[in-house]
Structure 1
Amino acid sequence: MIEEGDSIVRLRRRLRMPGDTNPVKRSALRLAAGKRYFTWKRRLYWWFGGVTYAKRREAGPLPYPVFRHDTPTLRKLKDVEMWMQHNKEINLALAARRLSGIVIRPGETLSYWRTIGKPTKRKGYVPGMVLFYGGFKAGVGGGLCQLSNLIYWMTLHSPLTVTERHRHSYDVFPDAGRTQPFGSGATCAYNYLDLMIRNDTEADFQLVLELRDHRLYGEWRSTAAPVLRYEIYEREHRIAQAYWGGYERSNRIGRRTWNAAGELVADEPIAENRALMMYAPLLKAEGSE
């Protein structure tokens, strides 16, 4: 899902004390001005930031698979009508076609939004679910956060370097059947909440994406055989009541790396997450993923 609420919350928090998660309402004019400012700031960075962006595509797959993952595109979520889920598939298919086959050569960076472009009706994008202030609404291009989540998770299992990733500000639905740690995704909002991945290796890496049978499939492939294995884990998971009455969920994500001989060669922090819970902490996980 495109996290429109996340982007607004981040704009507001720039003017507040560190650690304060209490939602504060701002005027629509102030939010619109902030959004326009950060949108143009991003564009200027794309043009003049000195980053070499990945542009080349390969029609055929590179020889070596690095990591594969797939996620369901139709999910029964509490109070979410299924037409939003079906529209999400349309949006995901359009964005996946823009990204699939792109190759990150050594020293290059992949920008999620620079490659996809702005999702608009003219390009075929339709209204899908957009998270907004801890709830949801329909918005053109809604659902693309599932794609950024998938790419981020796959990248954590590769030697590629994530140079920009944004955490979710809200925990909207209770856990049910979760297979990945809380906070292991990457939220997105065009264009200033981006996902950027740099290739600091000597090999080429190719992103391959496909949507079929109501599942989103992704894979990183390379010109070099993988020699490292990665494990993503969670620590310091905590649910605490904030001073203003709401609940906040937090954790830290780490990564262990093993070489071909099975030796642990690295154990590093990856991300720190904090999100406002939009449900009671002990609520039974019913009607959600």
Structure 2
Amino acid sequence: MTTPSVEPLELPARLTAPPRLTQRHPWLLPVAVATHRARRRTRWVRDAWSGRVVWATQRTGSDLPVRVKQHGSLLLRELDPDRMHLQHNKVTNLRLAAGRVDGLVVAPGQTFSFNKVVGNCTRRKGYLDGMRLSDGSADAGVGGGICQLANLVHWMVLHSPLTVVERSEHSFDLFPDQGRMLPWGVGCSIVYNYVDLVVRNDTDRPFQLRAWVGDRYLHGQLRTDEPPGLRYTVEARDEQFLRRDGRVFRRNQVWRRVIDRRTGEQVGEELVKRNCALVVYEPGPGVEVLELD
């Protein structure tokens, strides 16, 4: 019996690049952050002034009549009991951030920026220390946990004709799949204001985001004003765990299928993203890990 061939493992640049200057000299991090933020603000102003980008700002409490996609994600995960307070703080952070997103209408030709809409999550605005993911570790930080809202928005957008202009994912797989409802690799990384989720409406119909925090779930809906002619399904393919040089990596492909609502037939499909991340936990029983030379 022959061993199936395994495609070469191509690692993300962030896992192969030498340590960044701010990693070697952490005292430089505030300067780097301020520089990144200034560049992003300059781009926001320049794009708006030139007319190249029209930012979505209008909100309404009235639902557009057609629900395109809805989803709910569990608010609390079972983690170390000493860190569960960060999970509860996250709920407060999500409630504040969801209130900024809820009701936003992205009209034809407009662009949605998660960071522009939610803003900087500071203590002055009521945000608490939640769990933030950075360089393969989960640490406490003000506003931690709002990535869950960005993940929810991105998932709903993938089920629509809206165009994802910018999205950054994590280079590390921090938690096992217990209780996972969405395919691995569709999440987002958010850092105000220079790591963003940006979505453009290239259609001729308006789309509305609804988001709110319930008792157990963060809820979201994507709505529009007329029934769309197409629907979308998103799935992960070629899921693999690979061990090389003592480290375990995870990779897959995220695909989107396009289906005609009238006939039920598939009319297209596209590769959304190839994912590869360093796994920082030991895969449990039943997870096959392929050994690489």
The TM-score range, normalised by the shorter chain, is 0.7 to 0.9
Asked whether the equivalents of residues 248 and 277 of structure 1 are also in contact (C-alpha less than 8 Å), the reply is yes
For 1:212-262, what per-residue CA distance to the aligned partner results, in whole angstroms no more than 9, with x for missing partners? 11211000010111221211111232222345x422212111100001211
Q: Which residue of 1 aligns with 2:44?
A: 46
For 1:180-213, what per-residue CA distance to the aligned partner results, in whole angstroms no more than 9, with x for missing partners? 2110111111111100111111111000111111
Of 58, 66, 70, 1:68 maps to 70
Distance 1:80 1:61, change over 3 A: farther
Distance 1:127 1:20, change over 3 A: closer
Superposition deviation, residue 44 in structure 1: 1.2
Matched, 1:115 2:117: yes
Structure with the bigger RCO (C-alpha within 8 Å, sep 6+) is: 1
Q: Which residue of 1 aligns with 2:248?
A: 247
Larger radius of gyration: 2
Q: Which residue of 2 aligns with 1:168?
A: 170
Q: Which residue of 2 aligns with 1:183?
A: 185
For 1:139-178, what per-residue CA distance to the aligned partner results, in whole angstroms no more than 9, with x for missing partners? 1101101100111011101111111111111111111132
TM-score relative to the length of structure 1: 0.87
Distance 1:239 1:32, change over 3 A: farther
Superposition deviation, residue 29 in structure 1: 3.4
Q: Which residue of 1 aligns with 2:5?
A: none
Separation (CA, whole Å) in 2 of partners of 1:64 and 1:199:
16
**2:54 alignment partner, SS class:** coil
Matched, 1:83 2:78: no
Percent identity of the aligned residues? 42
Matched, 1:21 2:16: yes
Asked whether the equivalents of residues 186 and 195 of structure 1 are also in contact (C-alpha less than 8 Å), the reply is yes
Deviates more, 1:152-161 or 1:179-188: 179-188
Distance 1:18 1:146, change over 3 A: closer
Separation (CA, whole Å) in 2 of partners of 1:99 and 1:18:
32
Paired residues, number: 269
**2:16 alignment partner, SS class:** coil
Q: Which residue of 2 aligns with 1:3?
A: none
Asked whether the equivalents of residues 129 and 136 of structure 1 are also in contact (C-alpha less than 8 Å), the reply is yes
Superposition deviation, residue 38 in structure 1: 1.8
Q: Where does the alignment leave 5 or more consecutive residues of structure 1 unmatched?
A: 1-16
Matched, 1:146 2:148: yes
Distance 1:197 1:86, change over 3 A: same
Q: Which residue of 1 aligns with 2:266?
A: 264
**1:81 alignment partner, SS class:** helix
Asked whether the equivalents of residues 14 and 171 of structure 2 are also in contact (C-alpha less than 8 Å), the reply is no
Q: Where does the alignment leave 5 or more consecutive residues of structure 2 unmatched?
A: 1-11, 288-293
Q: Which residue of 1 aligns with 2:102?
A: 100
CA RMSD of aligned residues (A): 2.1
Separation (CA, whole Å) in 2 of partners of 1:36 and 1:266:
43
Asked whether the equivalents of residues 91 and 142 of structure 1 are also in contact (C-alpha less than 8 Å), the reply is yes
Superposition deviation, residue 82 in structure 1: 1.6
Superposition deviation, residue 74 in structure 1: 1.2
